[in-house]
Amino acid sequence: MEVRQLRYFVTVAHTRHFGRAAEQLYIAQSPLSQAIRQLESHLGTPLFERTTRRVDLTAAGEALLPEAVRILESVGAAREQVSRVAAGDLGRLRIGATALATYRHVPELVRRLGAELPNLTLRFRSEMLTPALEAALVEHRIDLAVLRPPVGDGSLATRLLARERLVLAVPAGWRGDDGSADGAVALADLADEDFVVYSAPGSVVGAAADRACRAAGFVPRHTHDADQTSIVLALVAAGLGVALLPASVLAVTVDGVRYRELTGCDVTADVALAWRRDDVESPDAPLAPIRSPALKKALAVLGGHERTPQ
């Protein structure tokens, strides 16, 4: 039984006339009649009672009609769904993000994807540092990451989203601050401070903070570390040190933590999208499909500028 035969059967059943059905199907009457006979032969029973004046459904034809309509609707829906998936308008996207990006950059990303690709299912993993996000991409546990470049794996591509300045997180009452002061702090004046840093090897923010301190003329004294931004801020709130963090942290309010702007600091911490190149670039084979049409469509919506891993 072929879908074509069912479509022909339903058209004849609705028109009760082979000639009019053939016109609607844009085919000649002879192949239409032949297809119906083949269907009847396959089912082993007549579907129509044919007279010189009209065409009526047999009992078997009456039974087949609603099932044939249901099958054709299901085939049409499947064809539509496959087409939308192939176009990237429908599908699933697994997104990982650093903790701070979750507060500052992910909401805008979600808003844009929701407006342009409302049928795309988004699944998020947050509170991941850049090294963990890079590994998750390489291991196919996520499809898109919001991280801090550079990434070291050549199979990944990145696209710059923002360039953030560093700010200083300090405990309430730091250096006699009553909470009302908001003046900038010279980075060089922090040489005698204890610093709370990220514990993950290869932390991009940690490297940027260390680079900024060295440029200001001192090596920061690392007294405590943590693997999550929330814990870094908790240690600062407890008075165990200060922390240099990207400006996205200004969106996070923590009791006992104050933020101060820095002077004498030119180091920034970039935010970028990252993905597997093979997911959106056509393989060398002719007519080879894109592995992730949804990801390719999402990147087109989000825009930005692609960068080569350093």
Q: Quick: pLDDT tens for 160-212.
A: 999 999 999 999 989 866 544 567 999 999 999 999 998 878 788 999 999 99
Q: Residue 231 pLDDT > 80, yes or no?
A: yes
Residue ranges per structural domain of the chain: 3-87, 91-161+270-307, 164-269
pLDDT on residue 180: 47
Mean pLDDT rounded to a whole number for the chain: 87
DSSP lists the bridge partners of residue 163 as 270
Alpha-carbon gap, residue 242 to 170, rounded angstroms:
5
Comparing 255 with 306, the larger pLDDT belongs to 255
CATH of domain 91-161+270-307: 3.40.190.10
Main-chain phi, psi angles of 263, to 5 degrees: -115, 155
Residue 112 confidence (pLDDT) above 80: yes
Cβ atoms of 214 and 242 closer than 8 Å = no
What are the start-end ranges of the H helices in 16-58? 18-25, 29-43
Greater confidence, 308 or 224? 224
Per-residue tokens: 116: 């342009």
CA distances from 259 to 120, 182, 190, 219, 294 (A): 37, 8, 14, 22, 39
Over 50: is that where the pLDDT of 288 sits? yes
CA 261 from centroid of its chain's CA atoms: 33
Structural contact between residues 100 and 243, judged by C-beta atoms closer than 8 angstroms? no
Per the listing, tokens 């004498």 go with 264
- Look up residue 30 and give its amino acid: S
For 3-87, CATH number out of 3.40.50.880, 3.40.50.720, 3.90.76.10, 1.10.10.10 equals 1.10.10.10
Residue 94: both structure tokens together: 């697994």
Query: What is the chain's Cα-based Rg?
Result: 32
Please determine whether the domains at 91-161+270-307 and 164-269 fall in the same fold group of CATH: yes
Is the pLDDT confidence value at 232 over 90? yes
pLDDT band at residue 234 using 50, 70 and 90 as cut-offs: very high
Q: Write down the pTM of the prediction.
A: 0.70
For residue 305, pLDDT beyond 60: no
For domain 164-269, the CATH class is: alpha beta
